[in-house]
A and B are shown apart, each in its own frame.
Chain A
Amino acid sequence: MTETMSGQSAGALEEGEGVNRSLWGDVRYELARKPLFWVSLVLVLVILTMAFFPQLWASESPNARGACDLSNARGKPTWDHPFGYTASGCDMWASLVWGTGKSVILAILVTAGTTVLGVLLGTAAGYYAGTTDTIISRITDIFFGLPFILGALVFLALFPERNVYTLTLVFVVFGWTSLTRVMRGSVIATKQKDYIDAARALGASNMFIIRKHVIANSIAPVIVLATIALGTYISAEATLTFLGVGYQRPAASWGLLVAEGQTLALAGFWHLLVYPCAFIVITVLAFILLGDVLRDALDPRNR
């Protein structure tokens, strides 16, 4: 009955849609046939559930009372505990799982922050050019001159308490420049395309052109760079924590575990270093791979 009511033209249009594909339909199709997508997606989902629901993967937090037993300190992997014990006698698997959140949430927040900032500033500089561009570009240059790790080291040493928010703030302050530069260059290239003129000839406003035409056509390199950066933020967190200016104990983070394991690894306790490093490497790789496949699938020109 509903069919008769919907009328002929609507029915015909839906039929057309059934035969053909939409942008997102194309993306789904493109992604579904890539094994690399499934591998990276599963890894990323595992990592995200570890970050937000660690109790699903390891029932007991290493920070819980009685969870760690110093008599197990540096315990080597056994069949019962294939990951062994940390230097302070906690289960290594539980420590890694419960440490995921600190590392991954920080990386996600920083990536989101730098991407938003980079896209906004880069687009403004590239599209409006002139004075706007000069101001934004010179500020970018100044921040670009500050080395990331050194800058973060100096700033973080000033904070009495270092948690996910202070770390995010410092990372964003030192990390937005490269994305801004890439976005600006990409926008300048896009701005000169005929379809921007065509959109203007159709009466589109600047904001509309920026939102739809410019950003959509220039964001691809930023997405790729941002996913790569997401990985590097995880390792940067580990680096800074290792250097003593990242997360503080008793928080569990991968960087802290690496810092702990570094001194003992050569003394024969290899698992103290290898497992945390493996977690970092796999996580970074998973995000980079996912970003790469997404970029390919989202760009219709690659089909």
Chain B
Amino acid sequence: MTDTLSSGEHRATQSPLDTLAFDESAALLEVRDLHVEFHTRDGLAHAVNGVSFSLEAGETLGILGESGCGKSVTAQAIMGILDSPPARIAGGEVRYRGVDLLSLDEGVRRHVRANRIAMIFQDALSALNPVFTVGWQLGEPARKHSGASRGDAKRRAVELLDMVGIPAAKQRVNDFPHQFSGGMRQRVMIAMALALEPDVIIADEPTTALDVTVQAQVMDLLAGLQKEMQLGLVLITHDMGVVADVADKICVMYAGGAVEQADVYDIYEKPAHPYTKALLESIPRVDQKGQRLTAIKGLPPLLTDPPSGCSFNPRCHYARDHCAHDEPPLHDLPGGRKSACHYWEEVLGS
């Protein structure tokens, strides 16, 4: 009896997902030249400007960047939960196993969410409904998508809580979100994302709202589950420490564009973009006690009024005159890396 609730059977018989031609040999998740605009009072804001990346099963991609660089918007565009208006996807493709999700009808697309691609939100307290028990919220996707009974849904909820390491799951399943601590709540969030056994998980700043010790525990849990279930994980964060531990590759975003993409070891060893380099220099380190921390001068540009040429040029050490006119393309570097800097060789060599 308990077999039915570990998904599978029910889903296969009734889901509109069957009408889609998923190509299992295609990349798990591929984003190509994604553009997202926001219509604001101050004009058109280009929140995401041609971001591309791909992700395979069992792989972790870290999307790194400061606030307002378009990380979360990218995540929401992949999920298809952007508030539009004001947001509008102006171009590009989001392919899951070869199927372009952006071209799908909302009715079909909502079955892709959760069943195939799920999301972990930053602030678990506000992302959990305060008036329902955690058990209800965990069990409901199973009831809706795979037609599980109330009892099965509840057992599934307990199973999920167990999986994310919540002690006394059988009792806690009847508790409300506010009765959990911050770290436990984030575990519940993770359990919720796993409810329908997706292949891709997008974690939008999953540990930002937590304190440092709990951050490490939650990241360990997430990384462990990812390895165990061979999930494709998109980890969005501004914390270079968080991505260093778990990511396989990294995409650095600045002002809505991807400025550098590389393997995690390469990027930490030798950044190929001045922005990445500056970010790495601004991490406080134990062996630099007593020295002043290097901060990146200036502020990120307004997305409604980006600087001409390279978007980073007003804050860049390496900038020359023509950087203010010529927008650098995303250069292909040796070793499969990419950098959107005219002087990547110089940055790499320094």
Contacts and interface: CB of A to CB of B under 8 A. Distances in A.
Nearest to A190: B129
Interface of B is mostly: helix
**Which of under 10, 10 to 19, 20 to 34, or 35 or more describes the interface residues of B?**
35 or more
B126 A208 contact: no
Interface string A54-96: 0000000000000000000000000000000000000000000
B110 A198 contact: no
B118 A23 contact: no
B157 to A, nearest CB: 11
B315 interface: no
Contacts of B193: 201
B145 A194 contact: no
A202 B128 contact: no
Interface stretch (B130-138, B229-237, B324-332): B130-138
A243 interface: no
Contact of B113 (A15, A21, A193, A202): A202
Nearest to A130: B85
B88 to A, nearest CB: 15
B171 A16 contact: yes
Contact of B178 (A17, A200, A216, A301): A301
Nearest to B176: A300
A13 interface: yes
B196 to A, nearest CB: 8
Interface in B139-163: 140-141, 144-145, 151, 154-155, 158
Contacts of B175: 20
A197 interface: yes
B114 interface: yes
B129 A217 contact: yes
Given A202-B192, A203-B141, A216 B171 contact: no
Contacts of B178: 300-301
Interface string A38-66: 00000000000000000000000000000
B121 interface: yes
Nearest to B107: A205
| Most B-side CB within 10 Å, residue of A10, A198, A203, A216 | A203
Nearest to B171: A20
Contacts of A21: 174
Nearest to B117: A201
Given A13-B155, A203-B113, A193 B126 contact: yes
A42 to B, nearest CB: 28
B28 to A, nearest CB: 18
B128 A203 contact: no
B34 to A, nearest CB: 18
Contacts of B133: 22-23
A208 B144 contact: yes
Given A17-B174, A194-B123, A198-B119, A203 B130 contact: no
Interface in B180-215: 189, 192-193, 195-196
Contacts of B155: 9, 13
Contact of B110 (A16, A203, A217): A203
B171 A203 contact: no
Given A195-B126, A197-B127, A205 B170 contact: no
A198 B114 contact: no
A20 B121 CA distance: 28
A19 interface: yes
Contacts of A19: 171
Given A13-B170, A300-B131, A205 B192 contact: no
A208 to B, nearest CB: 7
B132 A216 contact: yes
B118 A20 contact: no
A299 interface: yes
Nearest to A198: B127
Given A195-B128, A198-B119, A203 B174 contact: no
A301 B192 CA distance: 21
Contact of B154 (A13, A208, A299, A303): A13
B81 interface: yes
Given A197-B121, A201-B79, A300 B113 contact: no
A150 interface: no
Given A202-B141, A203-B110, A203-B113, A216 B129 contact: yes
A142 interface: no
Interface in B280-307: none
Nearest to A205: B110
A201 B119 contact: yes
A203 B144 contact: yes
A255 to B, nearest CB: 39
A297 to B, nearest CB: 12
B350 interface: no
A203 B118 CA distance: 9
Given A205-B107, A300-B131, A301-B178, 17 more contacts: A9-B155, A13-B170, A16-B173, A20-B173, A194-B126, A195-B127, A195-B129, A197-B76, A198-B121, A198-B192, A201-B118, A202-B114, A203-B113, A208-B144, A212-B140, A213-B129, A217-B129
Interface of B: 2, 76, 79, 81, 107, 110-115, 118-119, 121, 123, 126-133, 140-141, 144-145, 151, 154-155, 158, 170-171, 173-176, 178, 189, 192-193, 195-196
20 contacts: A9-B155, A16-B170, A20-B171, A193-B126, A194-B127, A195-B126, A198-B127, A198-B128, A200-B110, A201-B114, A202-B195, A203-B110, A203-B112, A203-B115, A203-B141, A203-B145, A204-B110, A217-B130, A300-B131, A301-B131
